[in-house]
Structure 1
Amino acid sequence: MTTPTAPPAPVTDVPAVIEETAQLVVDHYVFPDVADRLAARLRARLAKGAYDTDDPAELGARVTADLQSENGDRHLRLKFHPERLGEGEGPVDLAELRRSFAASLGGVPRVQLLDGGAAVLELGPLLFQLDWSAEPLSAAFTLATRASTLILDLRGTVGGDPDTVAFACSYLLDERTHLNTQYWRAGDRYEQFWTLPHVPGARFGGVKPVYVLTSCRTFSGGEELAYDLQHLGRAVVVGETTRGGAHPRDGWAVHPHLEATVPVGRSINPVTGTNWEGTGVHPDVPCPADTALDRALQLAADASTPQS
């Protein structure tokens, strides 16, 4: 018998939730000037009764709309979680992440060899933190080493860790390569991310063709993996323009079911000097997401056909 799920706890002190969220934005958001304006907006909207609800899902939606009203930052949210959260600074949804990790075979739900010698690696729903995901990713990439073509399916990849992105890229490049730089507001510092000089298992390498499949759902860490490989000229991106979230974030529980997610850094690609925030990753070969695999396979077949 399935145990009934208890309804989410109501928000009994909305002003306290709003004030804590506003202060977290002021203290941590990567753009301090925007943070001050957004905090003022939240406090003004509270005073006008805009947040008069005890429903945590509804409150999260209203506050998120206001947080994203100035620059559309999709990582800046008051995110509702049906399950109770942990306390303090994120990952506040650790139990939820562990369930997702197990259910997706460690973030690699599909490894398949197709007719013609192409291997499909589906990564998602997240590129989980590297201490969790190194083993399944290494196993998957090593298994695909002997394929003639690699297709990375990121159509359902909605987030990830920059260290894990660098780990995945390390299997697809022969030389040590600068992938990304993160600017962190805390400490006003920059951190570079490079491919690894050595990886567990075997590399697919930097010569054989790679195609990356994207959708309008692809987000954050999934976008970085596509963007890095695209602008290094290592992969052809096939599918839809992605959602456009390039700011790594931290999370804080401000209520048992509400997480304030605040971007604490921004990405700077060494090739473009910018990132995919607000614009998304634009595919090299645009097509509907549900046809992207067939399109990539056709591109691979055409590329391997000798020209007369």
Structure 2
Amino acid sequence: MKNKNTLFCLLFLFISILTSVAQSNQPTVTAMEQQVVIDSINHLLNKNYVFPETASTMANLLSANLKKGDYTTTTDAVLFSERLTSDLQSISKDRHIRVRLNPEYIKEVNESKSQNPNNNQIPPAMLEELKMKNYGFKEVKILDGNIGYLDLRNFEDPQFAGETAVSAMNFLANSNALIIDLRKNGGGSPAMIQLISSYLFTAEPVHLNNFYFRPSNENTQTWTLPYVTGKRRPDIDVYVLTSKGTFSAAEEFTYNLKNLKRATIIGETTGGGANPGDELIINDRFTIFVPFGRAINPITNTNWEGTGVKPDIEVPASDALFIAQQKALEKLAKKETSNPQSIYPWLLTSLKVKQNPVKLDEKQLKEFVGSYGSKTVTLQGDKLIFSLSSYRQAVLIPMGGDLFDVEEKLIHVQFIREGKKITGIRIENVNGNTESYKKLK
């Protein structure tokens, strides 16, 4: 896809940063400006919107409403933009279409173009905001069992975010499984989809998606890249987490991997926005995001517009990470069924306990407090704290009875009870080694 097209999602995602919302002086709109705005919107839709007939119907609706006086009482500029958005979406059902009161953004764009008329870059303030958000890479870490985890909030264009993306994927390169969390991802650049996807396949290019763009009457294709910096991982299981808020480019990434059978999708059906476009200036105060293209998946010959991407495992978004970890550990455990020292069954048990810990009241918790040889158990709030040494502590998580899991350690602590009295502890690690200590009086 051409560079000018890969920037559209950057503008769409971060336009709200510079959007002028209801201010203390409540910006208003006159009848004359309403006429100008609607005439401009109709021109932009008829020239650019991907479906010409729908564009004409939307334009006719706005003109008819204006003529009937439907907007006469809507003098608040923000409410006017919201009303136009609602009217346009009532026809198109296209969630990408949105009118905004946007004077600061327009000012940034105009100043940038006045300095360099051929400049297609995003405004400096928006670029600074991308940096502040680490280009959408919110969190990268390794979970128990060497499961890689990437919390990605946006797919920013590689010309800005490429270095960060490469660093993140290389950090995860030695994982035994990979979870990509898109539950809070609102979209972005197809070029970043291409880059990240390339790490999940071999060097042989894989056809990801097709696009049709109405203004240029152009068809384009996206494929995985023949070269990436670092290690590819076509061999590991990938889990993609989704929510109702997963949208646009985040949906494309999910849809691509699902249909290529390269990932297991876990969570909720996504938002349903498949038509790429651009933020266009209406006048000196308003903008409109106009979808001028549509995705055409090479496997399904359609896309997710209006329907969203249905997950393979449908669960509430809040449960998706736990389910993904569970599925990853279960699959890794199956690969090591002949290994008696496999850590995965242990980790799976610990994960389930952490997800649904046994509840103990204060009286029950106090039973376990005390000194056990060189180890101590103290009560801090509603948590038991286990001192592994003079400088290492960890939370004990009840597993039922007198057995506890040690948070972030491959250790279980079994309290020894004689009658109703606790007399000691036995510590067992994942390898089966044990240590026993008597409770000190």
TM-score, length-normalised on structure 1? Answer: 0.92
Measured on the aligned residues, the alpha-carbon RMSD in Å equals: 2.2
Q: Deviations over 1:47-85 (max 9, x none)?
A: 122223332221111101111112301112213448543
Which one of the candidate residues 291, 299, 302 is aligned to 2:330?
302
Greater relative contact order, per chain length (Cα 8 Å cut-off, separation 6+): 1
Match of 1:43 in 2: 63
Which one of the candidate residues 215, 228, 238 is aligned to 1:186?
215
Whole-angstrom distance in 2 between the partners of 1:188 and 1:84: 29
Deviation for aligned residue 1:278: 0.3
Q: In terms of Rg, which structure is larger?
A: 2
Q: 1:293 to 1:93 in 2, by over 3 A?
A: same
Which one of the candidate residues 60, 68, 90 is aligned to 1:69?
90
Q: Specify the code of the residue in structure 1 equivalent to 2:275.
A: H
Q: 1:8 to 1:192 in 2, by over 3 A?
A: farther
Whole-angstrom distance in 2 between the partners of 1:276 and 1:91: 29
Match of 2:182 in 1: 154
Q: How does 1:204-219 map to 2 (within 5 A)?
A: 205-219=233-247
Match of 1:201 in 2: 230
Whole-angstrom distance in 1 between the partners of 2:91 and 2:134: 38
State whether residues 157 and 219 of structure 1, in contact with CA within 8 Å, keep that contact through their aligned partners in structure 2. yes
Gaps of 5+ in 1: none
Q: 1:201 to 1:145 in 2, by over 3 A?
A: same
Match of 2:130 in 1: 101
Whole-angstrom distance in 2 between the partners of 1:176 and 1:119: 24
Which one of the candidate residues 280, 286, 296 is aligned to 1:268?
296
Whole-angstrom distance in 1 between the partners of 2:209 and 2:306: 18
Deviation for aligned residue 1:107: 1.5
Q: Specify the code of the residue in structure 2 equivalent to 1:231.
A: N
Q: 1:128 to 1:155 in 2, by over 3 A?
A: same
Whole-angstrom distance in 2 between the partners of 1:142 and 1:6: 47
SS at 1:21's partner residue? helix
Deviation for aligned residue 1:130: 2.0
Deviation for aligned residue 1:256: 4.6
Which one of the candidate residues 101, 110, 125 is aligned to 2:139?
110
Deviation for aligned residue 1:202: 2.5
Q: 1:91 to 1:50 in 2, by over 3 A?
A: farther
Q: Specify the code of the residue in structure 1 equivalent to 2:274.
A: A
Deviation for aligned residue 1:229: 0.7
Mean Cα deviation higher: 273-282 or 61-70: 61-70
Mean Cα deviation higher: 52-61 or 231-240: 52-61
Whole-angstrom distance in 1 between the partners of 2:311 and 2:66: 41
Whole-angstrom distance in 1 between the partners of 2:181 and 2:207: 23
Deviation for aligned residue 1:102: 1.8
Q: 1:256 to 1:293 in 2, by over 3 A?
A: farther
State whether residues 47 and 215 of structure 2, in contact with CA within 8 Å, keep that contact through their aligned partners in structure 1. no
Gaps of 5+ in 2: 1-22, 114-118, 339-441
Q: 1:156 to 1:43 in 2, by over 3 A?
A: same
Q: Deviations over 1:64-114 (max 9, x none)?
A: 111111230111221344854345799897456424412321210100111
Match of 2:351 in 1: none
Give the share of equivalent positions with the same residue, in percent: 38
Task: Tell me how many residue pairs correspond in the alignment.
Answer: 302
State whether residues 56 and 258 of structure 1, in contact with CA within 8 Å, keep that contact through their aligned partners in structure 2. no
